[in-house]
Structure 1
Amino acid sequence: MSCCTVKGFSSKRIGDDCTKDQEILELYRARSEAAISETEDRYGRYCRRIAVNILGNREDAQECVNDTFLTAWNSIPPQNPAVLATFLGKITRNAAIDRLRSRSREKRGGGETALALEELDEVIGDSQTPETEVLRRELTQALNRFLAALPKQERYIFVRRYWYLDSIRTLSEQTGFSESKTASMLYRLRKNLKKMLTEEELL
């Protein structure tokens, strides 16, 4: 995988200029505040899209993006992301999911996005002990193998649903499949993933 590739998507969509990413990383290492503005210019829209998809609220999404840039500032160095887009996207996604779950606990239900998270939690769980963090790293490696073996369209649907948390309706519109077919495909993919993880004794 090249330094500009986000797994499952065209490298031309995001992070197609590795040199620019390296320049931004150098700004972080030099503790230059320009790193934040350069990150906003290059990846602000990308991060906001992830957060809005999860939260459905632009104000909350912007707060998550701000938190993402602060986390990046505090993390680089010592961290040295191989793929800056993926690094920032993961921070944004985790921050937005944490905010959503907190909000959902208060409201007892979080709509379509909460449903997507629950679907995946049924397969891989959601505990946060030190032991399960080790297991989660192994699960991540297994998930990457699972995705790599999927046909391109199935991989796209799975990633859009469980990374970007697109709704079934949105996926249906994007792929041209009916909503029932899309839901059925996702169910089959989750079932196959659970079978693979069970066979590898990760569940």
Structure 2
Amino acid sequence: MTDYKIYDDQELVRLMRSGDERVLVEIYDRYWEKMLVVAFNRLGNLQEAEECVQDVLYKLWKLRDNLSLTKSELANYLARAVRNHTFNVLEERQRKRMRMSAYNHEEITDTLSPERQLIVQELQQQIDKAIKNLPPQCQLVFVLNKHEGLSAKEIANNLNLSENTVKSHLKKAKKDLGNNTELLTTVIFFHICLQQF
């Protein structure tokens, strides 16, 4: 029986292309813990981190025929793959929160008159549009702060950014939203309309 521990990463990748599933077991044994630490540091949830690592290893197996490691080692490839996948998990979390927020928002608007419901819905659409116009990472930082209530330090840890970078993104988001004259005009208009009903 072959001892896969003696092979380096490039040899493992070459053997994996032949469809030998025992190679994947060796990669799992070799890198599972490191990948899990990266995922957990970003997600802060052990179950999500484990699922993230499993997804990355599954994708590695699916892509084995096209995988080449001429410039980077397998460890670097896996670390990048986990990092990218955690962004997907965080974005999905954000989408779930926004869906829940919209659901709660609907419960509140159900108690309003039809006119006020329409005004609140229009305002929410303008706010969502303004947030979507932010640069992607700035948008993610803003939503994690405002919708999930995470502090700058927590966001920095989750996204592997410096705290100063997170604060810069938040400052830019507030400035861009504050300078959005279309949004400000809509807010003022709706505020006046709501007072009249």
- Short-chain TM bin: 0.3 to 0.5
Normalising by structure 2, report the TM-score: 0.47
Higher gyration radius (CA)? 2
Structure with the largest fraction of helix: 2
